[in-house]
Amino acid sequence: MKKSVISIGGVAVLIAAAFSLWHLKTPQQTNAEPTRSKVQYPSEDVIKNNLWVLPDDQLKDDSNEIVLLVTGANNTGSGAWAWSYAAQLPKQNYIPATITLPNMNSADLNYSGKFVYEAVAQLHRDYPQKNINIIAHSLGNLATSWALHYRPTFMAKHVKNYVALGAPFKGIQSAGFDKMPALASNDQAQVPINFQVKAGSEFVKHINSTPFPKPIRYLSIISQTDEVAAGQSPEHMASFPKETEGETVTPQAIYQKPDMLLGHVEELADNGIYEIATSFLEKREINLAAADQKYYPEMQKPGLDLTILYGNTKSHTGDAKKVEREPISTDIIE
């Protein structure tokens, strides 16, 4: 049994890419040359040391599709993805790559975003004939948002598809913080990302002030029971900036399972969400049988269980330097 690509509340909706001219909006109209943020860009050596690409020469010869996996807070690229997407994607002829963001993604998002931008640039230099897609989870979507907001021309040229999982594009309410012990703990209360992910922060306002660039195709997937969305609707929290041509969907609506309980971390290894994501990349219909827990053998529940068990311990948290207030970007759109 199959169903059309995306379904919301039982109504089928097709996702289509729109290829029209997009006029870039800048914070100020000026003839001055673009300047870099005071937050410096990571060096090429740093990016190479933080960027991992599956070491499979045969797959690299056979596949034209790279999927850059961007992790959320308090994790490394391998720690978040090695037991799920990075293991399953090669079986569908995708080349997985992961990027570890600075201080396990607890640093200034204006710096972490540059890692995503530079990772795309490095992948393009290394594999110029291949398509680059991005799948990000949780706060990794905010780092990705920096690249899309501040470097839209480059990203539009080099990124084909972007799938967001559990993305807090509209920021996290205080009730959502209470559901994230690692972020709410005294040890991490003043790391830069904690100020920036809050609803109403300057960072959240900036990334939502312009639509993400065309012709990238966009899909946002979030569980209706994602606890990080406490205090607001999950669909609202995970919605793209206004006028971005992309959809926000939930697995509960697509699979018509309103009682499905699926938490924020669990979105990383859910078979149904993986099927929605890859069907979008492949422009094909969703196979409803994929909601079965064992449909994709490499989506490993034991790895997820360990992440949930140890994800809030001090040994699994980022070590960014504490700040007194939200870091404000001096970047401008290029």
Q: How far apart are CA 223 and CA 200, in angstroms?
A: 23
Q: How far is CA 179 from CA 156, 192, 261, 268, in A?
A: 35, 19, 15, 17
DSSP 8-state class, residue 84: T
Q: What is the pLDDT of residues 7-40, one digit of tens each?
A: 434 333 333 333 232 233 333 333 333 333 456 8
Residue 235 in 3-state DSSP? Answer: helix
Positive/negative CA dihedral, 274, 276, 279, 281: negative
* pLDDT per residue of the chain (334 residues) written in tens, 0 to 9: 444 444 434 333 333 333 232 233 333 333 333 333 456 889 899 999 999 999 999 999 999 999 999 998 778 888 889 889 999 999 999 999 999 998 867 788 999 999 999 999 999 999 999 999 999 999 999 999 999 999 999 999 999 999 999 999 999 998 887 777 656 554 556 788 888 999 999 999 999 999 999 999 999 999 999 999 999 999 999 999 999 999 999 999 999 999 999 999 889 989 999 999 999 999 999 999 888 767 888 886 666 666 666 555 665 566 667 878 888 888 889 8
Q: What is the pLDDT of residues 204-253, one digit of tens each?
A: 999 999 999 999 999 999 999 999 999 999 999 999 999 999 999 999 99
Q: How far apart are CA 196 and CA 101, in angstroms?
A: 16
pTM score of the predicted model: 0.85
